[in-house]
């Protein structure tokens, strides 16, 4: 339904009231993709490249409305510089071969790629990194605004521990319960049980009410949800004027590809130990209790610090 068909009269008491940060955040600015970033060990609400708000708590409750079925791969040249424009020179949508539009394919197949060899990146990791994109809404947000959430490798393959799971283990848990992931409020938390190194873990909070579930299903069918889960890198002619769909992930410092006449031997790509990304270190503090769900939109972002 077109917004021109909606009847709404602004009340007189709002005559001198400006649009607040919450409304601006939900409305967006310039049509950039909305996403949730975890840079610096904090949940950050983003609209395109603009940071709208940060969350002090180390958890966030979302509803997963859609997700990429395949695990993506991305390879960046050089070292990561905070705030610098960067796009991967090679990437894979299906995790098996470089995309046809990859700027500089490193191999004809991911399994035999030198950047997929353990030790090709820093700290004995792989220079080419795994990720998986999911589309989420915030718990209690009646507008059903969809956000992109890019899950790093350690959060994809992590096993269950103390009720907290990696994303694939979480999906298997729900499947065993015959419950769609789209019918559950999911807690995403920075888990510090690994000695102060934060890793994202997932667990169910509650089942959605029936009306919430059908709203989740509809949100998952939206164009925004499709965009959120699709890895599509556009290489601009002029990077300064680019408005790329993908907000590039931090680029690991990679070693040059080894020169070899034969295909390098690589281990199973699904091996969690080899799928590590640069850990995020945050100062540990007691994890707060999850508050009960509320329906007020204002309560949704009560834990966010608006800029």
| Per-residue pLDDT tens digits for 75-91 | 988 766 665 667 889 99
Q: What is the pLDDT of residue 8?
A: 60
Tell me the residue range of the domain where 133 lies.
32-282
**How many structural domains comprise the chain?**
1
Q: Which helix (H) or strand (E) holds 16?
A: none
> What CA–CA distance (Å, rounded) separates 17 from 208?
35
Distance CA 303, CA 146 (A): 19
The greatest distance separating any two alpha carbons of the chain, rounded to the nearest whole angstrom, comes to: 76
Q: Are 47 and 25 a contacting pair, CB within 8 Å?
A: yes
Instruction: Give the pLDDT confidence score for residue 181 in this predicted structure.
Output: 94
In a domain, 305, yes or no: no
Q: Which of 139, 148, 300, 140 is nearest to 223 (CA)?
A: 148
**Residue ranges, the chain, pLDDT below 70:** 1-11, 13-14, 18-32, 79-85, 194-197, 236-307
306 inside domain: no
22: in domain: no
Fill in the DSSP letter of residue 290.
P
Asked if residue 235 is part of any domain, the answer here is yes
Q: Around Cβ 241, how many Cβ atoms within 10 Å?
A: 7
Give the dihedral sign, CA 288/35/81/108.
positive
Assigned domain for 224 exists: yes
User: Is 254 contained in some domain?
Assistant: yes
pLDDT of residue 21: 55
Please report which residue ranges of the chain form alpha helices under DSSP H: 21-27, 153-157, 167-176, 210-220, 223-229, 297-300
Positions of E strands within the chain: 34-37, 43-47, 50-55, 59-67, 72-75, 90-92, 129-138, 147-152, 184-191, 197-207, 280-281, 304-306
Alpha carbon 88 to its chain's center: 17
Residue 136 Cα distances to 58, 67, 148, 209, 221, angstroms: 17, 9, 6, 17, 12
Residue of 177, 171, 143, 139 lying closest to 155 (CA atoms): 171
Q: How far apart are CA 24 and CA 52, in angstroms?
A: 9
Residue 12 domain-assigned (yes or no): no
Give me the phi and psi of 241, to 5 degrees please: -105, 5
Residue 69 lies in a domain: yes
């Amino acid at each position: 339904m077109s917004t021109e068909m909606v009847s709404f009269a602004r009340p007189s008491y709002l005559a001198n009231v400006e649009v607040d940060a919450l409304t601006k955040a939900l409305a967006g600015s310039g049509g950039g993709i909305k996403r949730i970033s975890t840079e610096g060990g904090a949940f950050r609400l983003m609209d395109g490249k603009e940071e709208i708000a940060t969350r002090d708590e180390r958890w966030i409750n979302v509803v997963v409305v859609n997700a990429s079925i395949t695990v993506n791969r991305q390879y960046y040249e050089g070292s990561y510089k905070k705030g610098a424009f960067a796009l991967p020179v090679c990437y894979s949508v299906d995790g098996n071969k470089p995309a046809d539009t990859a700027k500089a394919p490193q191999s004809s197949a991911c399994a035999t790629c030198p950047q997929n060899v353990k030790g090709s990146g820093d700290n004995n990791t792989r220079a080419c990194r795994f990720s998986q994109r999911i589309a989420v809404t915030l718990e209690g947000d009646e507008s059903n605004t969809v956000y992109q959430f890019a899950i790093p490798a350690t959060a994809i393959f992590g096993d269950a521990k103390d009720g907290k799971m990696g994303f694939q283990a979480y999906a298997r848990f729900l499947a065993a319960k015959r419950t769609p992931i789209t019918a559950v409020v999911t807690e995403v938390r920075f888990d510090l049980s690994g000695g102060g190194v934060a890793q994202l873990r997932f667990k169910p909070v509650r089942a959605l009410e029936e009306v919430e579930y059908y709203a989740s299903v509809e949100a998952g069918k939206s164009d925004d949800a499709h965009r959120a889960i699709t890895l599509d890198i556009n290489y601009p002619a002029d990077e300064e004027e680019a408005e790329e769909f993908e907000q590039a992930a931090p680029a690991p410092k990679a070693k040059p590809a080894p020169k070899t006449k034969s295909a390098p031997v690589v281990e199973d790509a699904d091996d969690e130990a080899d799928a590590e990304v640069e850990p995020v270190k945050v100062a540990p503090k007691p994890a707060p209790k999850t508050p009960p769900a509320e329906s007020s939109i204002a309560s949704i972002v009560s834990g966010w610090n608006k800029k």
